[in-house]
Amino acid sequence: MTQDNFTLTFQQLMEQTKEYWRRYKAIIKEIENENEEYLELQKTVDAMKDSMDMLSLGVQYLMLDVEATKRERDTLRTILEDKE
């Protein structure tokens, strides 16, 4: 192998390496973007789960309050009927 031939082959190899590196960087960037989207989606889902838990707890408290109000109403109704 002559010096010129070696230089040419080495330059071709370097160009191929650069091209592979560019492709690799593009693939890595795409994966990073997908990962960021996934993480954002996961945060949104977690926030929705938390909101649903809070909503469920709020509804449970409201149901307890309704039951207590009904009992109070019945008690007051009974007291008023007894006074009549």
**Cα 46 to Cα 53: distance, rounded to the nearest angstrom:** 11
* Angstrom distance (rounded) from CA 15 to CA 24: 14
Element (DSSP H or E) covering residue 63: helix 3-83
Task: Reply yes or no on whether the pLDDT at 68 is more than 80.
Answer: yes
Q: What is the pTM of this model?
A: 0.58
Place of tokens 């590196």: 21
Q: What is the pLDDT of residues 14-30, one digit of tens each?
A: 999 999 999 999 999 99
